[in-house]
Structure 1
């Protein structure tokens, strides 16, 4: 049994089994009633049907109107067999089914909500009252306790089950929305690292050159803005195994970028290592974009107390106060997503230290022992 309904059906199964045991105890205590053979026959039918329903209701495909109707017919049939087992009705006595007749009411309530639970309670109650001679009773002697309990059980259990179903549906929707948001952010980071930067470069160079190139730059700018709005990402299966972050970082070494790594491996899950390296790449792209293609930059990597930290430093003009917040508000995802978003998804932190005219230092830290279960 899966889903939120599973515990309800298991509880009903336990109730049915316990009710059969209770009915057997009543039969034994009454000495078999007036007709012991008929009594044991009815108990046998109840036990057999209990086994059938325990299995049938555990299979989602079998739950439906045919099973509910059969459940009610068997329940009412066993209930109406009481006179043939016990003889003439005696005030205060329980039918041969005992509490077992409530199982069908609970099943209807769980499957169809409080209205169907109330309808099932009405059917079973009318059969019980007819069995007790409803036409011969007056209002004062009308046995309504069992009827009230059946209605309460059917309505309350049905209402609770319906609320649980709605809560499960809303939770699933929230999970799907969150997953979709995370996937969009991942694609946004990847696009920013490649396509968006190229479009931005074309736009900037077109404006600088002028003429027809300016129109080309304008079109590139429009496509860049449109692409930011259309970001979507398909699910990606995470890579398995581990990787040495040092090898990924050393690829960035050049005449302008100095990479310093420790002598010992910086072992991380593959997905974490690649995302960490991509964040470093985004930081270096920002250095090139804002400080110039020949601006020097330094990458430092270290491991300490279960944390791997990579720092990217430059000696450029620095970041004015509020610039990062404004860039994020304008949809420019260089730091907000390509760096901070990536590291946050890995369970890490990003610290940006900068001041106008004093360069920028971006420090990225992730747990070294993180499991390889990131998206």
Structure 2
């Protein structure tokens, strides 16, 4: 299951449960129920046993069911809530001593689930029931006295409570929707960036290994084709080289480190000795005499070391193929939070012309070396001129746990 699908299902699952507002309303119901019991067992409430029994059974049974069933407050539950609270309003009209604020819970629930309009409509319906019950009990609407003002004030309070909670619920839902949309956009952007990074790194790996060997096979094949006598051992060596690169390409595509079809989570404890890795990269260039020197044995995160060592390997390969010298030097140090890797040779040197390199299809420096370093937030400095060799400096900033550990000794 993809991360996006999992996130979407999690959001849908959370949307099916009562939200925080409805849980808060349930707490209000329990508090009012406790107060109603206190009123019932007191003098005024005990004087009206039938009305007290109806009030306690309605509020207690309904509140207990809501707490145990934990409904999603669909239309049926909300309508039943209106009926229960409307009945309580009628009971309160017949027995004023039992009048409590419990019926407002229905307006609050409608507002929490159905927003501003739903809360206002539910409050208005409850208010109408309350006013109607008082009219049946003899309330006169054409004379604005204290009793009418009190009844109308209670009815208006029901409307205001439902509308207020509905407004809050609407704002919260809009904020949650905006947050979820932003999270989904950020997740899609991260996935797209990861795919592009995979593609770019795969291209660098292919350039570093397969394309280099294919170029060699092409060159040696032309030489053998132009030779009057073809040595079978040379042809067999080329065939073995091509077979080795076929295996390497297959492993590269299928490797389970995020560059192929598999996927492995990063290991937070993945620490690698940069000194040992540079020495290993030097041994992969048998035609060069490479001197490796580091200020201490630098131990750094593997996700940082591996692309840097691959860039160094590409730089050494360029020295072997183009510099015309058998010697090269590698130097690494950490200075004030900055990792500096230097690859130097005393070969023929060159004039850096990026357009010419692109035209010639020579993308080792631009793509395999600079691309890797820039992806780590660093930069590459090239110092070269014809006749005085080349110095390549890779500068990568280190932050937090990535600053590495230094141990005594030199590589």
TM, length-normalised to structure 2: 0.62
1:45 alignment counterpart: 61
2:378 alignment counterpart: 349
Q: Which has the higher helix share?
A: 2
Contact 1:193/1:282 (CA < 8 Å) preserved in 2? no
Q: Distance in 2 between matches of 1:257 and 1:94?
A: 96
For structure 2, the residue ranges without an aligned partner over 5 or more in a row are 1-8, 223-258, 404-411
Distance change >3 Å, CA 288–CA 255, structure 1 → 2: closer
Contact 1:17/1:50 (CA < 8 Å) preserved in 2? no
Q: Distance in 1 between matches of 2:362 and 2:117?
A: 58
Deviations 1:101-142 (A, max 9, x none): 244224423xxxx4xx52354245314422431895859865
Contact 1:23/1:97 (CA < 8 Å) preserved in 2? yes
Q: What's the CA shift for 1:332?
A: 8.8
Aligned length: 329
Listed as ranges, the matches of 1:1-375 within 5 Å are 9-25=19-35, 28=38, 31=42, 33=45, 34=48, 35-52=51-68, 56=70, 63=72, 67-83=73-89, 85-88=91-94, 97-109=102-114, 114=115, 118-119=117-118, 121-123=120-122, 125-133=124-132, 136=135, 142=152, 143-195=155-207, 199=211, 235-239=263-267, 240-253=269-282, 254-256=286-288, 258-262=290-294, 264-287=296-319, 291-292=322-323, 296-304=327-335, 308-314=339-345, 316-320=349-353, 323=354, 334=364, 338-343=368-373, 346=376, 349-354=378-383, 356-357=385-386, 359-365=390-396, 367=398, 370=401
Q: What's the CA shift for 1:21?
A: 0.9
Q: What's the CA shift for 1:318?
A: 4.2
Question: What secondary structure does 1:104 align onto?
Answer: helix
Q: Distance in 1 between matches of 2:331 and 2:64?
A: 73
Q: Distance in 2 between matches of 1:147 and 1:273?
A: 65
Question: What secondary structure does 1:265 align onto?
Answer: coil
Higher Cα radius of gyration: 2
Distance change >3 Å, CA 155–CA 361, structure 1 → 2: same
Contact 1:24/1:43 (CA < 8 Å) preserved in 2? no
CA RMSD of aligned residues (A): 4.7
Deviations 1:127-160 (A, max 9, x none): 4422431895859865334213313422441243
Q: Distance in 2 between matches of 1:355 and 1:81?
A: 92
Question: What secondary structure does 1:250 align onto?
Answer: helix
Distance change >3 Å, CA 364–CA 129, structure 1 → 2: same
Q: Distance in 1 between matches of 2:194 and 2:320?
A: 28
Q: Distance in 2 between matches of 1:15 and 1:342?
A: 56
Contact 2:294/2:333 (CA < 8 Å) preserved in 1? yes
Question: What secondary structure does 1:317 align onto?
Answer: coil
Distance change >3 Å, CA 107–CA 284, structure 1 → 2: farther
For structure 1, the residue ranges without an aligned partner over 5 or more in a row are 58-62, 210-231
